[in-house]
Amino acid sequence: MVILAFALVLGCFGELNLTLTVPAMPASKALEQLGATAHLTLTTSPQTAEDILTFRLTDVPAQEAMRRIADVDDATWKQEGETFRLIRTDKQARFEREREFNERVSKYVTAIKGRIQRLGEMPAWNSNQANSLASKVQSLLKSFNPHPQTTDWYRQASALSDQAPIARAMGRIIAALDPKELAALPRMLKTVWSMNPTDIQRPMPSNLQSVVEQYVADQNEWSKAIDKWHLTLPTYGNTTYWVGGFSDFNKDAIRTVADVLLTGIPSERGDSVHFELTTYDARGKRIAFAQDGIGYNGPIHGSESKLAAASADEPALTVEGDAKTLAEAIFLGRQSPKRLPPDFLAKLIRPDLYEPVSFLPGSQLLRAAEIKGANMVARLNDEMFANDYVDNTKPMAVDQFLRRLAITGAEYDLKDGWLTVRPDHPLAGQAVRVDRKVLRDYLQRLSSGSALSLDEQARFAVLLPDYEVNSMPSELASVVRSSALTEYFDMNMLRLYGLLTESQKSSMIKDGLSIGSLSSDEMECVKRLVYGPRIQLSYQLPRGSNDSSLSDLYFDGLLGEPTESLPNGLPPEGVIKLKRDHSNVVVNTEPPNARSYTPIQALSPKALAMQKFGQIHQDLIPSVIEPFPIVDLSHLKYGPFIKLTFTFNFTETLSTVRTLEDKSAKGFQPVTLNTLPDDFKQQFDRAYSRLEKTYANVKPIPVSGRNSNIPPQ
């Protein structure tokens, strides 16, 4: 859809052929270079200015080059006097939206057809099938180890789980869903379908009544087999493990299904959905649980037939120069620790001047076109940056590179001497693009060497996209300063903190801040904290009540699902309270030449005792150390610590608590376990002594080398 009115203006330039290579950069800069070579004034519109373009042209007519660029950018050239402006019309923008949506729908149609085929190949369920499965499960459970050396056991459990009634029902339910509904699911928030939907749930498809009835009958047969074969959940230490989708093995459980909930959580790209199916009895107790997914996270765009097979004498594609330096820094990481060359680091922290995508995969794409002897025009986006699915330091065939590039969301075509590349989801990519000036400020702050304060972390959390949907900032941060990448903050909570005004924080500390007074952006953060994936609210009995059965329904029952316990959404009368704690703690630091990064942990005397005891007594895992990341206790600092505790009181009985910690360790001094300050040391010794007494008679469990690289302190 290109306006070819530039024929008149080209005039004597109509026969001008261009030879030009432009690395990946914003379209506004790329077209300026093209225009200078073609003796034309080429510019962009607000819709196209930040699109990342790269091209390699060899003796190509100017008009053909402009047509190719407009095509990969879903844009049109508009003539304004002697200037040509690259615009994206409303029709083209609508076409992009429709193409993305229809492509997702097509994937789900294919995935659902595959699910139906799998169901047809499965043997019918009956008492013999139930007993056969129970026998296999019993045998498998005898070999359960919470810390196996391989994933073979869990693969076997997964294969057996697929045969259970809950998994069969899930397949039938998923197969009944509307592909268009799946393609339109909101991301970052789960969608819940129910037989008895609340205001914020969706009704199960009306044609599923027979599926539910069949599941109830199958579940009854499975319940009998559970009792016959004496199946129980494995317990080690103080932990009971829920294994696969076999159902609750509690013999006292009432296994008659009264409600069914299906939860759908779209992937970051929106082209696959993770499903969880849970069934409940009439009391609201969980009966069975299963999880599965449909869709494909790594679409391959581009026909193999369109790619000329790599000949024996075709050079392999390698990375060189700055791209190689970056690839090694990202993919080899601490396995080959070395400082970045100062001149390269200076480029890396100026993404506003040196486009990150130009390093990887931009430079590889230019080299690929050169090897193929093809002209190339490409529109790239942040999603394609670095291609962290593969070690880019290794040589590969061009065709292999193009197929792998497609995994990160690219469509490619190689024919008639032209290699063209474009995003398969351009609008989705634009929505999560990181502002290069914000990224510059972030990387330059990290390169200063000192850790970011909590307020700085929160400010960048507001300005930068979620790392789940755009990993470029975190990947570059890990190169600029390895310990900058992961502090294991709840990013929604950190973003909410960054959005709050000082007045709001003061209200939270004093009397509490009502949820109804939050801004729309703040409210969105709270929604994700409540209705996001894997969220369970805390429940406490109403004042004066002694009925503990309700607590069970929140801990392991229907009310543990927030769309059930808060069925009308976030209550505006709910209150958020903030408590600031100031205390002295020990933090771990990053030892020189560490092979892997351990997040900074603020350890109280009790937590420090837990760390030391757990590292010495690893045979008591998970009872002791599993809830805590293992840290190196030979590199510690001691100093003042600030902890913020946010309590969200939604109702009298429902709440959730989130904490943020300032881990910048400003003013901290190096210490060892033997040189701790007296008061802290006494508390540590008492906590350690209590652990020794508590676990004196706990039976050890097998440990298959977990954390064996960290010696006891």
Order of strands, sheet of 83-87, starting from the edge strand that comes earlier in the sequence? 41-44, 83-87, 76-80
Last residue of a domain, one of 261, 295, 329: 295
Same domain, 74 and 117: no
Please list the alpha-helical segments (H only) found in 39-163: 62-72, 90-121, 127-141, 152-161
Q: For residue 391, what pLDDT is reported?
A: 65
Structure tokens at 101: 């949506």
Q: Are strands 286-295 and 272-280 parallel, antiparallel or unpaired?
A: antiparallel
**Which CATH number covers residue 18?**
3.55.50.30
Contact predicate 369/60, CB 8 Å: no
Closest CA to 87 of 1, 176, 151, 180: 1
End-to-end CA distance of the chain: 68
Q: For residue 238, what pLDDT is reported?
A: 73
Report d(CA 410, CA 424) in Å as an integer: 5
**pTM for the whole structure:** 0.84
Report d(CA 459, CA 214) in Å as an integer: 52
Give yes or no for a cis peptide into 361 (omega within 30° of 0).
yes
- Beta-carbon contacts of 675 under 8 Å, excluding residues fewer than 6 positions away, are none
Same domain, 580 and 526: yes
DSSP letter string, 206-234: GGGHHHHHHHHHHHHHHHHHHHHTT----
Q: For residue 707, what pLDDT is reported?
A: 41
H/E run at residue 201:
none
Rounded to a whole number, what is the largest CA-CA distance in the chain? Answer: 93
Q: For residue 503, what pLDDT is reported?
A: 97
Q: How many residues does the chain have?
A: 713
DSSP 391: -
Q: What is the mean pLDDT of the chain?
A: 85
Q: Which residue(s) pair with 106 in the sheet?
A: none
Contact predicate 566/654, CB 8 Å: yes
Same domain, 13 and 105: no
C-alpha distances (whole Å) from 519 to each of 24, 531, 647 are 38, 18, 18
Same domain, 582 and 642: yes
Report d(CA 709, CA 687) in Å as an integer: 25
Closest CA to 246 of 286, 296, 195: 286
In a domain, residue 350? The reply is no
Last residue of a domain, one of 88, 114, 129: 88
In a domain, residue 24? The reply is yes
H/E run at residue 235:
strand 235-236
Structure tokens at 152: 């073979």
Same domain, 33 and 116: no
Same domain, 191 and 272: yes
Same domain, 565 and 499: yes
Same domain, 191 and 280: yes
Same domain, 79 and 185: no
In a domain, residue 333? The reply is no
In a domain, residue 261? The reply is yes
Q: Domain count of the chain?
A: 3
Closest CA to 294 of 267, 320, 314, 323: 267
Q: For residue 608, what pLDDT is reported?
A: 93
Structure tokens at 574: 């709910």
Range of the domain at 23: 6-88
| Position 22, amino acid | V
Interior CA angle at 336 toward 397 and 450, to 5°? 120
> Within a 10 A sphere around the Cβ of 275, how many other Cβ atoms?
21
Same domain, 80 and 193: no
Q: Residue 82 — φ and ψ, nearest 5°?
A: -100, 10
In a domain, residue 289? The reply is yes
In a domain, residue 421? The reply is no
Residues of the chain with pLDDT under 70: 1-15, 149, 244-255, 296-312, 332-338, 387-392, 482-489, 590-599, 620-629, 701-713
Same domain, 251 and 153: yes
Report d(CA 302, CA 298) in Å as an integer: 13
Three-state DSSP class for 290? strand
Three-state DSSP class for 483? helix
Same domain, 67 and 114: no
DSSP 198: -
- Beta-carbon contacts of 360 under 8 Å, excluding residues fewer than 6 positions away, are 319, 323, 326, 327, 385, 386, 387, 392
- Beta-carbon contacts of 671 under 8 Å, excluding residues fewer than 6 positions away, are 586, 636, 637, 638, 677
Last residue of a domain, one of 278, 295, 312: 295
H/E run at residue 589:
none
In a domain, residue 32? The reply is yes
Three-state DSSP class for 518? coil
| Position 693, amino acid | K
In a domain, residue 418? The reply is no
Report d(CA 604, CA 315) in Å as an integer: 58
Percentage of the chain exceeding pLDDT 70: 86
